[in-house]
């Protein structure tokens, strides 16, 4: 299935940690699709959302290993990308998010409806 087919009708994506790892660390199986998704978010074709917990998860190992370049790439993508919003969480919101969301997998055919719903939910949270 092509990415265009999977994303028909999708205006926003809620991202889990794995897609950022695929993108920044250039996973050979997912890099091409993640580059295209990130390009679409950067161009404003999609709005991207993730929780700040994702930042903690992606930075843990690179920081422990002293990989400053990778740490900065993660920060740039998660904190400074256009049309991408990192959502701060508190305990109550974290519990609600766990119940309401599903992880994004770039080849999951359920993604458009689930990701739009999760992204809409994330964007409506009080900041």
pLDDT, tens digit, for every residue of 55-99?
A: 999 999 999 999 999 999 999 999 999 999 988 877 776 666 555
Q: Tell me if the domain spanning 3-123 has CATH number 3.90.1200.
A: no
Tell me the C-alpha distance between 56 and 79, whole Å.
12
Q: Are 78 and 54 in contact (CB under 8 A)?
A: yes
pLDDT of residue 2: 83
Q: Give CA angle at 68 (67, 74), nearest 5°.
A: 95
pLDDT above 50: residue 104: no
Structure tokens at 15: 């991202």
Q: What is the DSSP letter of 101?
A: -
Domain ranges of the chain: 3-123
pLDDT of residue 97: 59
Beta bridge partners of 50: 86
- Which of 87, 78, 73 lies closest to 120, judged by CA? 87
| pTM score of the predicted model | 0.70
pLDDT above 90: residue 44: yes
């Amino acid at each position: 299935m092509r990415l265009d087919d999977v994303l028909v009708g999708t205006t926003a994506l809620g991202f889990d940690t794995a897609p950022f790892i695929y993108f920044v660390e250039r996973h050979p199986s997912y890099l091409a699709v993640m580059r295209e998704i990130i390009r679409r978010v950067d161009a404003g074709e999609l709005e991207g959302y993730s929780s700040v917990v994702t930042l903690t998860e992606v930075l843990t190992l690179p920081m422990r290993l002293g990989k400053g370049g990778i740490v900065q790439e993660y920060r740039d993508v998660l904190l400074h990308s256009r049309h991408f919003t990192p959502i701060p969480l508190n305990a109550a919101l974290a519990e609600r998010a766990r119940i309401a969301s599903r992880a994004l997998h770039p080849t999951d055919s359920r993604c458009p409806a689930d990701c739009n719903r999760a992204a809409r939910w994330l964007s409506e949270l009080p900041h």
